[in-house]
Amino acid sequence: MKIVVLCGGLSPERNVSLSSGTKIAGALMARGHSVVLADMFFGLENWNGELKDIFDFPPELGGTGIDVNAPDLQAVKTSRRLSGPSLFGDRVLELCQMADIVFMALHGQCGEDGRVQAAFDLLGIRYTGSGFLGSAIAMDKDLTKRIVAPYGVLTPEWNIHDCGIIDISAVAAKTDLPCVVKPVDSGSSIGVSIARTKQALEDALRGLAGTGSRAVGERYIEGREIQIGILDGKALPSIEIRPREGFYDYKNKYQPGAAEEITPAPIPREAEERLAVSAMTVFNVLGLHAYSRAG
């Protein structure tokens, strides 16, 4: 098959996506597919040949390490040669239309949130993963929690805050601590913090106000990090993730040796079954397809 692995983009999770895309491209090439690894934001700036020939030249894959810090997106923007506001880089859409399918290795905003999926639907481009609606809902933590609650899926109590409008000091004064603060529409634990004091809560909300993101404030629950993957409509064995220090933040997710992963998780069978049921419920209620992960 001719497969475009689409990664990168202009999201705070850009570096994670580039790493994922490189690994996916390598695996697909090892199985005999014709693969193009494409950065959605930069496109084919460095391709000097005819577009029709691009699948005949296997990409040279770089490293898969992820920097401990999130990328400087302003620097990424200014380094692109193509001018204009489009998040699709040079000939990206034309390339994707040539492929038998696009493997979506994008992470975060304008990658996992349904916008790219909707554009591809309009252009008749086949792609992996969930469609635009399920992707859009699942990327919004507040909306997801509201939708799955009537189906018996338990999540911590929460409030939603528009950090650019609210009186941050007033919100902090009436919020029970400790609490978890996170952007409503980002992944990879970027912007997530555990606030144990009023000052820490104010700092967290002000930090998100600078990004323009709404914030979810959840009641903090001491516990273990258990995740369930779903593939082809079936729940996979659970995984317990144990960070060496702190909580499962951006650093602990992507730095080698920062966290231990145990599969299957050492939990009672009854707990495993309940988690699988909850993960499948979310998957079905949100209208997701092919694969997902719940934690």
Examine residue 150 and state whether it is found in any structural domain, yes or no: no
Q: What's the chain's average pLDDT?
A: 88
pLDDT tens profile 74-122: 898 889 988 889 999 999 999 999 999 999 999 988 889 999 999 999 9
* Residue 185: domain span: 157-219
pTM confidence score: 0.88
Phi first, then psi: give them for residue 112, nearest 5 degrees: -105, -5
3 state SS for the chain: CEEEEEECCCCCCHHHHHHHHHHHHHHHHHCCCEEEEEECCCECCCCCCCHHHHHHCCCCCCCCCCCCCCCCHHHHHHCCCCCCCCCCCECHHHHHHHCCEEEECCCCCCCCCCHHHHHHHHHCCCECCCCHHHHHHHHCHHHHHHHHHHHCCCCCCEEEEECCCCCHHHHHHCCCCCEEEEECCCCCCCCCEEECCHHHHHHHHHHHHCCCCEEEEEECCCCCEEEEEEECCEECCCEEEEECCCCCCHHHHHCCCCEEEECCCCCCHHHHHHHHHHHHHHHHHCCCCCEEEEC
On whether both 185 and 100 belong to a single domain, the answer is no
pLDDT > 90: what percent of the chain? Answer: 51
Range in 42-46, 139-143, 184-188, 264-268 with the lowest mean pLDDT: 184-188
Domain contains 137: no
| Residue 68, pLDDT score | 66
Report the domain count for the chain. 3
Same-domain check for residues 34 and 116: yes
| Residue at which a domain ends, from 168, 194, 219 | 219
Q: Are residues 182 and 240 in the same domain?
A: no
51 versus 67: the higher-pLDDT residue is 51
244 in a structural domain: yes
Whole-angstrom distance, CA of residue 97 vs CA of residue 103: 13
**Among 80, 109, 128, which residue terminates a domain?**
128
pLDDT of residue 129: 94
Residues 179-238: tens digit of each pLDDT: 998 888 877 777 788 889 888 888 888 888 767 678 888 999 988 999 999 999 899 999
Q: Is residue 213 part of a domain?
A: yes
Residue 270 is part of a domain; what is its CATH number?
Answer: 3.30.470.20
Q: Is the pLDDT of residue 50 over 70?
A: yes
- Residue in 47, 59, 52 with CA at minimum distance from that of residue 22: 59
Q: Would 147 be classed as within a structural domain? A: no
What is the pLDDT at residue 69? 73
**Report for 9-23, 46-60, 152-166: range of highest mean pLDDT:** 9-23
For residue 88, give the nearest of 42, 143, 38 by alpha carbon: 42
Q: What does the pLDDT read at residue 250?
A: 66
- Based on the fold, state whether residues 28 and 119 are members of the same structural domain: yes
- Which position has the higher pLDDT, 233 or 266? 266
Among 219, 245, 262, where does a domain finish? 219
Task: Please tell me whether residues 53 and 108 are part of one structural domain.
Answer: yes
Q: What is the CATH classification number for the domain harbouring 210?
A: 3.30.1490.20
| Cα separation, 13 vs 280, whole angstroms | 26
d(C-alpha 32, C-alpha 161), whole Å: 49
